[in-house]
Structure 1
Amino acid sequence: MKKRVGILGGTFDPPHVGHLIIANEVFHALCLDEVRFMPNRVPPHKEKKSGTSIEDRIEMIKRSISDHDHFKLETIEIEREGPSYTFDTIQLLKKQEPNHEFFFIIGADMIEYLPKWYRIDELMKIIQFVGVKRPPYNEKTSYNVKLIDSPEIFLSSSILRERIRKGISCKYLVHDKVLDYIEKNRLYRT
């Protein structure tokens, strides 16, 4: 029987409770064996850099998922040079792990952006997309995206970076271990 694996990609800069909620909801709704958190090296759709290193983002993901046995870190995009195109990544994953069935998890912000994805029509043929609501974005699309009911939380990494920069508490918005790492390393201060 094929192992059922969810892939949640993103910059995770920083990872927050919204990411964990989405991963947990999809994990249970689709009876997955695991969910992999896959940080991008160079996200093709984002221009602004936060100033954190890849190593910082990896460490924060590890801390975020440390207390969930079925959440894993997937470094395939970090290990590759150049833009992190999902089409290339999924082709490589399927080649490396042919006995796995992959599900690509996206929020409504990315559902709206699907028409602009690199080789989207071909990508839709090789993987099942799973979408979750994310206010204020619209999850309606002509693409084949399996929608999952999930508690909605209006939270983004950019909101958290701004709060930290202003000295506003992020308690309960990120895992305590992540908050500790951010504070010790003075991330997002300027």
Structure 2
Amino acid sequence: MRTGILGGTFNPPHLGHLHAAELAHRALNLDRVLFIPTNIPPHKVLPENTASAEDRCEMVRRLTAEKTWAMLDTIEIDRGGASYTVDTLRALHARGETDLHLIVGTDMLLSFDKIWRAPDEIARLASLAVCARENEDWDALREKAAALKDSLGATVELVQGDSLTISSTELRQGGALRCYTPESVADYIEEKHLYGY
């Protein structure tokens, strides 16, 4: 089974996440995409008004509810501690998931061999499916993809399509919630008074 992996804090999840997953799903003929909420991100501090892991999982469940190919996977939350991608890929392989396509954005690919833990092992365990944040990123991404193939033997799949740039930070700060999240997610945020709504 060809499986896409989309990780993130999903704080909150929004239509940009769904759009990137959908682009990869179509372009790479994926059978499904697993949305994997981070427990504790190793490279950034979660903001003060962060939703709980339980709330973030429920929002992802609602975000993906109407997409038969998309689903929540709580593997990182269940494991606890800091969430390193390499650990997650090892665990997925251990449960028999071997055709993995890790969906990443521009910044993540460009920093892949600099700040990620065990990038060489990640490159062995999954291909990298890259969705550009801005259309002008493509030249830099092609160059980086070639460099990672040379240095790590990485398979980098460039997923073409218009990006949908939405900021979780802006949504937490009172952005247009109902424009950028599905109604069921916005309802949940308001019911639970998350992020001050």
Regarding TM over 0.5, the answer is yes
After TM superposition, what 4+ stretches of structure 1 lie above 6 angstroms from structure 2?
none
Counterparts of 1:97-112 in structure 2, within 5 Å, are: 97-98=96-97, 100-112=98-110
Provide Cα deviations, 1:79-102, integer angstroms capped at 9, x if missing partner: 11211111111011101115x411
Specify the SS of the correspondent of 1:37: strand
Specify the SS of the correspondent of 2:50: coil
Structure 1 residue 7 corresponds to structure 2 residue 14: no
Q: Displacement of 1:35 after TM fit?
A: 0.5
1:174 alignment partner, one of 175, 181, 185 = 181
Q: Displacement of 1:136 after TM fit?
A: 8.8
C-alpha separation in 2, matches of 1:66 and 1:60: 10
Counterparts of 1:24-35 in structure 2, within 5 Å, are: 24-35=22-33
- The structure that is helix-richer by fraction is 2
Are the counterparts in 1 of residues 103 and 130 from structure 2 also a CA contact under 8 Å? yes
Match of 1:19? 17
TM-score, normalisation: structure 2 = 0.87
Match of 1:40? 38
Are the counterparts in 2 of residues 112 and 137 from structure 1 also a CA contact under 8 Å? no
Say which is worse superposed, 169-178 or 29-38, in terms of deviation.
169-178
What RMSD, in angstroms, separates the aligned Cα atoms of the two structures? 1.8
Match of 2:162? 151
Q: Displacement of 1:137 after TM fit?
A: 8.7
Are the counterparts in 2 of residues 109 and 137 from structure 1 also a CA contact under 8 Å? no
Q: Which runs of 5+ in 1 are unaligned?
A: none
TM-score, normalisation: structure 1 = 0.90
Q: Displacement of 1:169 after TM fit?
A: 2.9
1:186 alignment partner, one of 177, 188, 193 = 193
Identity of aligned residues (%): 37
Say which is worse superposed, 29-38 or 117-126, in terms of deviation.
117-126
Match of 2:123? 124
